Amino acid sequence: MVARFFLPLVFIFLTLLGALTSAQFLMTGVVEEKENRISELLLTSSSARELMTGKVLGLGSLALTQLVYMVTLGLVLAAATENLALLGDLRLGLLDLLVFGLFFLLNFFLISGLMLIIGAAVAAEQESRQIAGLVVLVTLIPLYAIIFQLENLEGNPLLLFLSLFPLTAAPTVLMLSGFQVMAAWQLPASLAVLLLSTIVMLWAGARVFRRGILMYDQRLSLRQLRQIIQGRA
């Protein structure tokens, strides 16, 4: 039981830490470039799409590097303190790693697209941090939901919704997998929702980034965001 609970908990920690920290760096960088008008210089030598792609892939590489480092460090420390015996019944297969890797990457790119939109839409860094804080709170909802619903996990409608909601799908599925209470269709359904949402978010992020990066000292309203995403502005 300890091992089944421990692995998803580690996966959730790594997924949220890698996605949220790197994506917030991305958002902060976009806001600072707008405030200091550095984006004008950058766009003289590259297109907005190239600039966005470079930022996302660069920070994606950083997130993966952090992931490898933390996993390696954790294994070394566990071996050094002989705590690996506590996880003696843990079975980590190739499929587990593949599922975790897919959720990690999709969750990272989803949040990166959202942070791009936030960074390009706001006029000041303080405002962007406040909005990003709300995103962080939403991604943590599954942890609290599972704690309060610990005796009623199987078939729980709240957890089912969270497993199919893009921002909470990854942590919810990874945690529920540890308790082995998911229906057979739930994992592929969550993965499909997350994949589709990530594609849409990056597409929308590219549109907003292209227009918002040069709008200095201006805050995009929800109406303007909708028009930009729909291609009507």
160-201 pLDDT tens trace: 999 999 999 988 888 887 777 788 898 999 999 999 999 999
Distance CA 160, CA 193 (A): 13
Residue 51 pLDDT class (50, 70, 90 cuts): confident
Distance CA 40, CA 231 (A): 23
Query: What phi and psi values does residue 11 have, to the nearest 5 degrees?
Result: -60, -45
In contact, 121 and 210? CB cutoff 8 Å: no
pLDDT of residue 77: 65
pTM of the model: 0.83
